[in-house]
Structure formats: structure tokens, C-alpha cells
Amino acid sequence: MHNRGLTLLEVLALIVVLALLAALFIPWCTNGIGPAKRASCMSNMRQLYALGTIYAKNNNGEWPKAVGSGQWIAFTKTTPPMIEKDEVELLWCPLREGEARPGDCHYRGPRTPFAQLGSQDPIVADLEGNHGEGEPVNVVLKDGSVFEAAPGDTLWKKCREVLSP
């Protein structure tokens, strides 16, 4: 009996089996990446909120006068900067597709001054689409509580009213 190795059909069958196994196990192995990035995004927003409260304590209870995402970019322009040049990733959502550049901010800020917001009004939220189209966004309220807002729910609508990009 002669052993001539594997036939073409056997090699193709082996490739198909390996591809199926890879398709099954790759999502299982990377399952924690999305939730970790979502948590990192939420952490960024909590830190922005904390910077705002620190800024206010040093400025007679006033937050920066800027509105929208400019509220958060203002922390890079304080003297000394509350967000240093090598820390600007704090302004970028880790789930957002594409490359971020200095001066970009992936988080919404309030349209009105902080003092005029109610305790249950949002102060910072993801830009729509940060986590993918139709996906929930992270939201931090003026009282410091953190939530996820799904498209169409009450908190989502309130973010669109109170916050501007």
C-alpha cells in the first residue's frame, strides 16, 4: 500500500472544519472587549463630571461658560490645564469607530449653564452613534448618577433636548 499524503478533497475538508471552529471560538474569546470599552467610555464621562465639580469648587460654583462638547474641551484650556495634552483620550469614546484627533470630543455637553440644570437633567452623554447606530448611550446626570439610554426612551429624548453636540 502506498501512502501518498492527503488528497485535495481532504485538505479542503480540513480547511472548512478549521474555519468553522475559528468562527465559533473567536467571538467567545473576544466577548469581553465590548463591555470593557463601554465601561471605559462610562469612566471617561464620570471623570469629565468630576473635573467639572473640581472646576466649580475653584470658581465660585461656576462651570466653564462653554456649551455642548466645548464644555469638556474647555478643560484643556484652563491654566493650568485640567486635561493635559497627553490625556486628551479622556474626551474620546473608546467604542467609536475611526481615529480621533486633538480637539475632538465624543461627548455631548449642556446647552445651558450648569446652574440652570435640574438634578435629574443630563450633564454629559455620548454622541449618538459612538457605540454604533441604534445602540444605547451612556449618560451622567447633574447629580452624578450614571445610566444607559436606549434610542427612543425618555432619558434619550431628554439628552437630545438638554445636551448639544
Residue-level pLDDT, tens digit, the chain, 165 residues: 566 777 888 888 888 888 887 777 666 554 555 778 888 999 999 999 999 999 989 988 888 888 899 999 999 998 889 999 889 999 999 988 778 888 899 999 999 888 888 989 999 999 988 888 888 899 999 999 999 999 889 998 999 899 987
3-state secondary structure 14-70: HHHHHHHHHHHHHHHHCCCHHHHHHHHHHHHHHHHHHHHHHHHHHCCCCCCCCCCCH
Three-state DSSP at 86 gives helix
Measured CA to CA, the distance from residue 114 to residue 14 in angstroms comes to: 63
Q: Which three three-digit cell numbers place residue 110?
A: 449642556
pTM: 0.77
